[in-house]
Amino acid sequence: MGLYTESPDRITQEEEANIGVKNQPRATTSIASDRSQILKTRNWWICIFVCSGFVVTGRVLSTLLLNYYFIQTGRDACDDPKQFKGTWLQSFLQNAAFPSIAFLLLLWRSLFSTHGETQSSSSFGKLFLLYISLGVLFSAYSQLYAIGRTHCVFFFWIFTTQLIFTSIFTAIINKHKFNRWIILSIVLSGVATGIASSDDAYYPCESEGWKMSYGAWCSFFGTVAFSLSLCIMQLGFQKVIPKTESRVSAVMLMQTNASMIATLICLVGLFVSGEFKDIKEDFETFKTGKPLYVLSLIGLSLAWQVMSLGLVGLVCLASSLFSNVVSFSATPVANIFVVLAFRFMDDDIGWFKGGALLAGILGFASYVYSLYKAIKKQEIASQTELVRV
């Protein structure tokens, strides 16, 4: 890429001799700027795909381990009263692995620390409110989703409305602009999740009407809380997090602090509800042994944390809506692995799951193409501005 110049027939020999001298500093600056922009764009795309990989990996592993936990504790049986218990433990595990992210944060800052990563007293108050609000929302949707998926047979259909709420909230809070590729991505990823749901071990049996209604309402408010948390994250990265803060550091710091607050809230709920008494029974009766019980809970917590880190990273790099789209696009992949690993109710990989996987891939690709077009538009605008200067 170079500077725009006049057509050759309009340049005299004298002007031609002076162009190299006059424009040499500007040309050198332009080339250096172009190279720097290319490098930044390339690194940005790498981070996008790495975070997307975190989301997909975390979604697959957490789904597999959650199914394994329900089977080994006997919660997959319809007549087992334990099927509706353990929701506070699930919500606690969903946030409890934050020390692993805190360790990575300390390691990152020790290796790539900069003097610019300082915060004023005024920004500290805003950050505190940001992390508190996110922690409350994290604990809320973790608990509400745990209740919804164990009480309501329509959980996945209600869960799909999460994309609608995210679209509404991000349009209002983040002033997000939509185009046809983004709308197509929302539709395809929503379809992917809606038709991909399989008979997981935690899939509830048709029980009393009040439990179904209770689970449906919890699922509904869980989707609202999750969508709102993503949009508040994006607002925090745009308005609250200092620009001098490393983006990698900011992502891990937000995930660590919000998860820590959510863990404390869920821990209180675990003891107040009395569910902590069921942990010993599960530990003693786990079908594959006590060591695997501990390992499955640790693995489940780490998997959820990996997925959450990827979601927060995508919010920081792109938008809350893109983060939600990637999460939905990963659902068919997770459900296919569940079928391969457990074969629930003689379920198989049929046309619906194949179609859901294709819809998820196309939904992800559609949004990525929208981001690609936006970046190209910015590059053209910056080149035009450089020429004017």
In a domain, 47, yes or no: no
Cβ neighbours, 10 Å, residue 182? 21
Assign residue 118 a region (left: φ > 0; alpha: ψ between -120 and 50; beta: otherwise).
beta
Which tokens is 251 given? 């992502």
Percentage with pLDDT > 90 across the chain: 50
pLDDT at 8: 40
Mean of the pLDDT values across residues 236-243? Answer: 86
In a domain, 13, yes or no: no
Could you read off the pLDDT of 94-116 as tens digits, one per residue?
999 999 999 999 999 888 765 44
Long-range Cβ contact pairs of 246-251 (< 8 A, separation 24 or more): 246/108, 246/112, 246/114, 246/117, 247/316, 247/317, 248/108, 248/112, 249/105, 249/108, 249/109, 249/117, 250/316, 251/309, 251/312, 251/313, 251/316
pLDDT at 18: 47
In a domain, 365, yes or no: yes
In a domain, 320, yes or no: yes
On the CB side of 84, CA atoms within 13 Å amount to 15
* Domain span holding position 379: 56-109+124-388
Which tokens is 38 given? 């290319």
Could you read off the pLDDT of 290-339 as tens digits, one per residue?
999 999 999 999 999 999 999 999 999 999 999 999 999 999 999 888 88
Percentage with pLDDT > 70 across the chain: 78
Number of structural domains found in the chain: 1
pLDDT band at 224 (very low <50, low <70, confident <90, very high): very high
Mean of the pLDDT values across residues 333-352? Answer: 75
DSSP string, 152-177: -TTHHHHHTTHHHHHHHHHHHHS---
Q: Is 161 exposed, middle or buried, given 0-12, 13-18 or 19+ CB atoms closer than 10 A?
A: middle
| Least trusted range by pLDDT, from 78-87, 167-176, 335-344 | 78-87
In a domain, 18, yes or no: no
In angstroms, the Cα distances linking 276 to 92, 249, 279, 365, 386 are 11, 34, 5, 44, 63
In a domain, 68, yes or no: yes
In a domain, 144, yes or no: yes
pLDDT at 22: 45
Check residues 354 and 3 and name the one with the higher pLDDT. Answer: 354
In a domain, 25, yes or no: no
Q: Tell me how far apart the alpha carbons of residues 150 and 141 are, in angstroms, rounded to a whole number.
A: 14
Mean of the pLDDT values across residues 266-291? Answer: 90
pLDDT band at 3 (very low <50, low <70, confident <90, very high): very low
pLDDT at 13: 43
pLDDT at 93: 94
pTM: 0.86
Q: Tell me how far apart the alpha carbons of residues 339 and 142 are, in angstroms, rounded to a whole number.
A: 24
Q: Tell me how far apart the alpha carbons of residues 247 and 367 are, in angstroms, rounded to a whole number.
A: 22
pLDDT at 2: 39
The answer to whether the CB of 335 falls within 8 A of the CB of 353 is yes
Mean of the pLDDT values across residues 361-377? Answer: 93
| Least trusted range by pLDDT, from 27-41, 262-276, 332-346 | 27-41
